A and B are shown apart, each in its own frame.
Chain A
């Protein structure tokens, strides 16, 4: 069975500070991991993915995430937060060979000016 946990419903960070949005996952086989961002009344926008290779993946808008197999984590990070980064962030996992994405419950990021 596949599952994703985002332990924080809400993350607040001051503009210019580094941000981290946490994600842990559980799959039986090899994971494909994704981060998506959602703005109000909009669909999901793809940020980045980990499929294989380097554990540190870089994505859109200066975001990056680190795949940690031993901790089964895929935390989203950005060195310097912008007010415009305020949105709802979803972590998702798909097991290699499976068809469906499983989403976490989302973390609302608020960047305070």
Chain B
């Protein structure tokens, strides 16, 4: 099956610093990747959709200058939380849709294991 990895799995940073989270599709190419944020006991909220080689599309209310997304290749997207504050503490999950590769289904999104960000 399709595997999506995220790194790091957990990160603790000080307020005001920036944190980068990587999302990789390991055995398939992903034209489109998605970044979600999940608060405790709540559903996933889509933050942005990134397409390889173009600018990300952000959902309403998500600050694009604060949450920088780079989708530089068909297997890698990064989310950088800039000047992090305690309210940015959350569980961030990336997801990828298949465009080609070993697994051929175009319908499914495969999710990474998530990154727990804690800003102190």
Contacts and interface: CB of A to CB of B under 8 A. Distances in A.
Chain A complexes with chain B: yes
Interface of A: 32, 34, 36, 41-46, 49, 51, 90, 94, 99-101, 103-106
Contact of A46 (B43, B44, B108, B116): B108
B107 A51 contact: yes
B75 interface: no
Contacts of B32: 99
A41 B110 contact: no
Interface in B56-110: 91, 93, 95, 107-110
Contacts of B108: 34, 46, 49
B13 interface: no
The 5 closest A-B pairs by CB, nearest first: A44-B111, A43-B111, A43-B113, A43-B114, A105-B43
Interface secondary structure of B, over-half rule: strand
A100 B113 contact: no
B25 interface: no
A58 to B, nearest CB: 15
Interface residues of B, number: 21
B29 interface: no
A101 B110 CA distance: 11
Contact of A41 (B46, B112, B116): B116
B40 to A, nearest CB: 11
B49 A49 contact: no
B34 interface: yes
B8 to A, nearest CB: 13
Contacts of B110: 46
Nearest to A60: B1
